[in-house]
A and B are shown apart, each in its own frame.
Chain A
Amino acid sequence: MINLTINSLNVSVEEGTTLLEAARFLGFHIPTLCYMDGLSPYGACRLCVVEIGEGPKAKLVSSCTYPAEMGLNVRTASSRVRRARKMILELLLASCPQSKTIQDLAAAHDVRQQRFKQEYEDCILCGLCVRMCEEQMMAKAIGFRGRGENRSIGTPFDITSDVCRQCGGCMYVCPACQLRCTYTEPEKAVCGGCANLSPPCLQKEQFDDMMCYMDPCVACEIKKD
């Protein structure tokens, strides 16, 4: 067992436990976007950062990927952490303002405005869909392509993937268009502008009827102009 302190509380966890799991075990809330139980942690959204270390060696690490270490002193909501989270949410809002999940997170962290040039992107590249496809659906139909600002998710050469079974798992986990599939009653599904995600491995026409209750989709309407 590994002993560490989280926000001055002592906790013992098994080896291999991540800081996020340990903090949640104690009931400390840490916001996440790219983390999901059952999928391997990835550390892309950086929302889950926590502060570790002392004095000049103190640093922020993503709690979803950082393993618990003996004697570690973790702060899950220090001023440095809060400042970083606010800036991350501002960056997310600036790029992907239509996501209900991101809007809610921003509101919860008292981010009322963003100061960058407004963009309307669909994808925050959290990689949940990629990991869902690979680890839970055993398909590996989609993956990351390119790097830097050209990074995107899709299939090689944008050709419909043979291994895709059209399970819809990728859409199910997407934080940018969650509402599309999680609500069973159409009237409750308030459209967050579902970001219009369309993995190129899918034939989108089939999905329109199957998954989306919003007709016409607000986001799709925005897109068409």
Chain B
Amino acid sequence: MKRLKSIDDFKALQGLIIADRDPSISTIVIPAGTCGQASGANDLMRITKRELLAKGLTDKIHLRITGCHGFCEMEPSVLIEPQGTFYPKVSIEDMVRIVEAIEKGEVLEDLFFVDPETGVAVEKQDDIPFFKKQVRTILARNERVDPIRIHNYIESGGYSALAGVLTNGKPKWVVEQVKSSGLRGRGGAGFSTGLKWEMLAGQSNGHGKFLVCNADEGDPGAYMDRSVLEGNPHSIIEGMIIGAYGTGATEGVVYVRNEYPLAIKHLVIALGQARGLGLLSDDILGTGFSFDIKIVRGAGAFVCGEETALIRSIEGKMGEPRQRPPFPVQKGIDGRPTAINNVETWANIPIIIGDGAQQFAKIGTKGNSGTKIFSLVGKIKNTGLVEVPMGITIGEIVYDIGGGPVDKAKIKAVQTGGPSGGCIPAQKFDLPIDYDSLIEAGSIMGSGGMIVMDENTCMVDVAKYFMNFLKDESCGKCLTCRKGTQRMYEILDDISKGQATLEHLELLEELAEVVKDTTMCGLGQTAPNPVLSTIRYFHDEYIEHIKNKRCPAGVCKELITYFINENCTGCMVCLRDCPEGAITGEKKELHVIDPSKCIKCGVCKSVCKFDAVDVN
């Protein structure tokens, strides 16, 4: 790669790359993020390459390996461009057929996605209900870009926003644009990004300033940041360079979890390519403006996603929050001004600068502009990443995009915002998703985890699960957070075992309020949310556990018994599978579970084909 010496050089290169490409050539797009690779995308890649080489089709059919497109439930999937044909759950044999079909200019109708509601086969990706309702400004870029090829990114318009800024943008204009776009921090707190940048720009530049990309995504079940970092690392880099130009920052840091090896790998490659082309480090595109980015790998502490703890971790100290003020923009890494933004926030910057702030502000609602990626998981048909405009209702995400419940059990609630978030009941599904209304409902936006729960989920158990997570992940500095989460877990555990009284429930609420009030950092202040929101919306379930010693969802082991009803045909499957030998019975006769031996593992219920095992 030749280093680009000026903005004109860059424009010439971009023109060359675009002219070089023939958009009519069919391209096989295989999403191979971590999720895709886990479900078999690597095999598809290998087979496709072999087929194309063996048949000498490399000129006629192109192959592009990209990051995750979002429809993780249907992976490994294949997208054929330019037609937009989508094949879900592709096997190795199917892949060979697909290559053949493309060669002949045909489509394989038997492999199409079938809408489970209507039973109709859908050819195009854009017609699938899962994609139809989304506004995919960020995720759609994942489709167009091979993360380890910078030319791919440049071809799709990448680094144009940076070139534009460097040509005629004043730093003040950049900050003004971001401010007027109304972009709010996607990490969860929702602080205005433009305001944060303005504060950083206003700090004196004596010893340098830092920009940080916070990729320490730790919420259970959330992986938006990973997908963006894996699928489009250059958009983060471009966003950070633009940010540095606007705020006068001199150094950048991407703080990424070590549990994201693919993201780190792609980022390292992308940084190397950007440096090689002269888009990063000294004298960017010959303009005299310098900025470089380094990677710091986190060691897996949830609390290091908190700004001040993250700064300490970058400094090489123990990851533990400190008092704000002074805020990081005043005193951050090594005492120098630092602005920290989430991965998704950075990914939005090139879009805002490229398309214009006004265009960006049109998406979403007033005060909550733009799109937000959620990772939709749990008891729902279409799990995956969904990108929706702010202000869409929870119901639309769950039913229209998510496709509703997996089986007969009704959806009861969604949990948003990770361990610090809260549960929102089905009655409130018409709630628009934005920072403010979620807080009002007792939850938070968080970084975008969305866990769907149905009637087989016990809310006490959910609260207990998150509290167990938090008591391990609290840094332990503040007494109220360390001991508070431990004690809340203790009481929840008692409730789930039927050993608690109504006084315990009162104490739990009282304690939760105090922990929320008195803890220093965001982790502790939001830690009681799972408890408070479940008590608020599912008080009956708590009472049922405490007064009647009953778990309505049939989850809390101490409060349930398994028994076999008259549907039993005596097939002996459960008898054979019971790990404790607790089931007795003869062939073709009603079986019986011995409650003294039963460990309530639920194996019998899951293997029974006749609905003969009940939980009481």
Contacts of A95 in B (CB 8 A): 483
Q: Which of A6-14, A143-151, A186-194 contacts B (4 or more CB under 8 A)?
A: A143-151
- Contacts between the two chains (Cβ within 8 Å), count: 102
Contact B490–A87 (Cβ < 8 Å): no
Contacts of B607 in A (CB 8 A): none
The B contact surface, by secondary structure, is helix
Tell which of A42, A84, A144 touches B318, judged by Cβ atoms closer than 8 Å.
Answer: A144
In the bound complex, CA of A94 to CA of B478 (Å):
16
- Tell me whether A148 and B475 are in contact in the complex, defined as CB-CB below 8 angstroms, given that A60-B518, A84-B514, A88-B514 are known contacts: yes
User: What is the number of residues of chain B that contact chain A, defined by CB distance less than 8 Å?
Assistant: 35
Tell which of B318, B475, B518 touches A49, judged by Cβ atoms closer than 8 Å.
Answer: B518
Q: Does chain B have a CB within 8 A of A165?
A: no
Contacts of A150 in B (CB 8 A): 472, 476
For residues 80 through 107 of chain A, which have their beta carbon under 8 Å from a beta carbon of chain B? 80, 83-84, 87-88, 91-92, 94-95
Distance (whole angstroms) from the CB of A2 to the closest CB of chain B: 13
Q: Does chain A have a CB within 8 A of B114?
A: no
Q: Does chain A have a CB within 8 A of B519?
A: yes
Closest chain A residue to B477 by CB distance?
Answer: A44
In the bound complex, CA of A66 to CA of B507 (Å):
29
Contacts of B486 in A (CB 8 A): 149
Best-buried of A124, A147, A150 by chain B (most CB within 10 Å): A147
Q: Does chain A have a CB within 8 A of B484?
A: yes
Contact B517–A59 (Cβ < 8 Å): yes
Q: Interface extent on A, as a size class? A: 35 or more
Distance (whole angstroms) from the CB of B354 to the closest CB of chain A: 37
Contacts of A42 in B (CB 8 A): 477
Chain B, residues 275-306, CB within 8 Å of chain A (1/0): the string is: 00000000000000000000000000101000
Chain A, residues 144-163, CB within 8 Å of chain B (1/0): the string is: 10111111000000000000
Contact B514–A43 (Cβ < 8 Å): no
Contact A148–B472 (Cβ < 8 Å): yes
Q: Does chain A have a CB within 8 A of B474?
A: yes
Contact A148–B471 (Cβ < 8 Å): yes
Contacts of B13 in A (CB 8 A): none
- Tell me whether A60 and B517 are in contact in the complex, defined as CB-CB below 8 angstroms, given that A44-B479, A117-B490 are known contacts: yes
Q: Does chain B have a CB within 8 A of A200?
A: no
Distance (whole angstroms) from the CB of A12 to the closest CB of chain B: 19
B interface, CB within 8 angstroms of A: 301, 303, 318-320, 322-323, 325-326, 471-480, 482-487, 490, 503, 507, 510-511, 514, 517-520
A interface, CB within 8 angstroms of B: 42-46, 49, 59-62, 65-67, 69, 80, 83-84, 87-88, 91-92, 94-95, 115-117, 124-127, 143-144, 146-151
Given contact pairs A92-B483, A149-B471, enumerate 17 new A-B contacts (beta carbons under 8 Å).
A46-B478, A46-B480, A46-B520, A62-B323, A65-B322, A69-B325, A84-B517, A87-B480, A87-B511, A91-B479, A92-B479, A144-B318, A147-B320, A147-B475, A148-B472, A149-B472, A149-B486
